Amino acid sequence: MVQQAGAVTAEDGAGRANAKSSLMRSPQFSSFVILVVLLVVFAVADGNFLSPLNISNMMAFLPELGIIALGMTLLLTAGEFDLSVGAVFALAPVVVMLLVQNAGVDIGVALLAGLLLCIAIGAINGVIVTKIGISSFLVTLSMLLIVRGAALYITQGFPLKSWDQPGFFVTLLAGSFNIGAFRFYTSLWWFIGLSLLAVYVLRYAKLGNWISAIGSNRNAAVARGVPADAVKIWLFILTSVLAGLAGMISAFRISAASPVAGTGYELEVIAMVVVGGTALTGGRGTILGTIVGALMLRAIRNGIVLVGVPGLAYNIFVGVIILAMLILHALLQKNAARS
């Protein structure tokens, strides 16, 4: 009976006998298989794919989009999404660095200001979506324009001059360390830690039950006393804050803040999430799937360069693979429903 293992509930199934088969049919599992296949294909096609340098490179980029994808997964599970994350990714570091470089504000205070800005953006998104009842597509699309426009305007369109003062916060967000021949950034720890937290919340905590219920049938959740609007507003805030955090990590890593950073990230992040098996319509979310999705998109972007696909043709491949994944999920789900 428990065929759609994609749902949060499948893992605590008492039907141990079919737990294995339900896992095999789950969307995150099929994504995982495809990820492995892709990794093998790239590794065979190009010997450098699994080289320490290349793996280190992939692991440097992975957390930046991956962290946003965690927030987006929770938001999508609750039935909403956020198109303004790419713009927030740019605005937060731009504001922080302007405050430090031009206004002489202490970096800690500037980061706090950046955090408050992200909270405000998320709260505005959430309040308009829930209290005024405009779809999150329209609200966050407008917010994308406002936030991106603000980043461009306050910088006059120029990237900020480089940031070369190491310090506690830089080490905390973008410090690096070596393990053998591999070079990792502290952002990887952030991604791992936040992932564990997100898995816990969505699958095991009371809040996760609420999030899934809200996305599955909002009226039913409200009728049971679940504060649906408040949960959604907090998820919008969380997603914005994570986008800002990712932006800071990226800016510290490359020692610069650009007003056009993160352009198109919103769609890339949503692609990671749905490729992992989270339903765009809400109710069914999987953090493990999102991690697989984030790894997959990272590997694809990296791998197709190595195997020699012309740069301008990247997106064709990325699009085709995403589409193939979604078709696969849909077919699997149809199958599950029939049997």
Partner 1 sequence: MMQEVLRLQNLQKSFGSVRALKNASLTLKEGEVVALLGDNGAGKSTLIKAISGVFPIDRGDIYVRGEKVSIRSTREAMDLGIETIHQDTSLAPDLSIARNLFLGREPVNLKWLGVFAPLDLAKLRDAASALLKRVGISKKLDADALVSTLSGGERQSIAISRAMQFAAKVIILDEPTNNLGVEETHGVLRFVKEMREAGHSVLLITHNIHHVFEVADRIIVMRRGEIVAEQTVADTDLLTVESLITGADLSALMKRAQ
Q: Which of these segments, 9-17, 160-168, 188-196, 288-296, binds partner 1 (CB under 8 A)?
A: 9-17
CB 228 within 8 A of CB 244: no
Site membership for partner 1, residue 13 (CB under 8 A): yes
How would you classify residue 144: left for phi > 0, otherwise alpha for psi between -120 and 50, otherwise beta?
Answer: alpha
Q: Are 111 and 245 in contact (CB under 8 A)?
A: no
Which residue has tokens 């002489």? Answer: 104
Q: Cβ of residue 220: shortest distance to partner 1, in angstroms?
A: 5
Distance CA 321, CA 327 (A): 10
Site string for partner 1, 230-269 (x = CB under 8 A): ----------------------------------------
Phi/psi region, residue 277 (left: phi>0; alpha: psi -120 to 50; beta: rest), is left
Structure-token pair, residue 57:
């490179």
For position 200 contacting partner 1 by CB under 8 A, the verdict is yes
Contact with partner 1 (CB under 8 A) among 140, 195, 212, 302: 212
* Residue with token string 């109710």: 283
Q: Considering only residues 26, 136, 216, 240, which one is a binding residue for partner 1 as defined by CB under 8 A? A: 216
Residue 89's SS3 state is helix
Query: Contacting partner 1 (CB under 8 A), which of 180, 225, 264, 308?
Result: 225
In order of 56, 171, 188, 246, 301, the CA distances from 61 in angstroms are 9, 17, 9, 10, 11
**Which of 133, 158, 164, 219 is the binder for partner 1 (CB under 8 A)?**
219
The crossing angle, in degrees rounded to 10, of helices 228-254 and 186-199 is: 170
**Distance of closest approach, residue 318 Cβ to partner 1, in angstroms:** 29
Task: Rule CB under 8 A: choose which of 181, 204, 267, 327 binds partner 1.
Answer: 204
Q: Is 319 in the site for partner 1 (CB under 8 A)?
A: no
Task: Name which of residues 278 to 297 contact partner 1 (CB under 8 A).
Answer: 279, 283-284
Q: Which residues contact partner 1 (rule: CB under 8 A)?
A: 1-4, 7-10, 12-15, 200-201, 204-207, 209-210, 212-213, 215-217, 219-227, 279, 283-284
